[in-house]
């Protein structure tokens, strides 16, 4: 009797595994009539930077790096000089205050 029960259960599992799954309606966030557009890759090739832009970025990085080490009063002084005379002059002052 136990063997017959195990055989019946096993047969039911095998039949259900081989049968086509029944499509059940699912709740989705988008209506069924609206189809989503295919995903488009937004990856771009990085633009080539000019030597002038590279120098400007390097100077700006050095300026910001030296500003981090200054006290608030010195930082305000350097910012004022940078605003009036440019980043190079501000960097020179910041380096002299270290």
- Structure token pair of residue 73: 């009063």
Residue with the two structure tokens 């799954």: 21
**Confidence (pLDDT) at 34:** 65
pLDDT per position as a tens digit, 32-72: 566 777 767 777 788 888 999 999 999 999 999 999 999 99
Stretch 72-97: mean pLDDT: 95
Q: Say if residue 23's pLDDT is above 70.
A: no
| Domain parsing of the chain, residue ranges | 51-98
The rounded distance, in Å, linking the Cα atoms of 62 and 54 is 12
Mean of the per-residue pLDDT values for the chain?
A: 83
Whether the CB-CB separation of 67 and 75 falls below 8 Å is answered with yes
Contact 88, 59 (CB under 8 A): yes
Q: Residue 50 has what pLDDT?
A: 92
């Amino acid at each position: 009797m136990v063997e017959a029960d195990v055989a019946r259960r096993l047969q039911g599992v095998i039949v259900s595994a081989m049968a086509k799954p029944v499509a059940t309606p699912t709740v989705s966030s988008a209506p069924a009539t609206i189809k989503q557009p295919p995903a488009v890759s937004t990856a771009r090739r990085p633009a080539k930077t000019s030597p002038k832009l590279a120098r400007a970025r390097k100077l700006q990085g050095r300026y910001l790096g030296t500003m981090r080490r200054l006290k608030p009063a010195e930082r305000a002084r350097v910012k004022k000089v940078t605003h009036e005379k440019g980043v190079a002059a501000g960097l020179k002052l910041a380096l002299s205050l270290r």
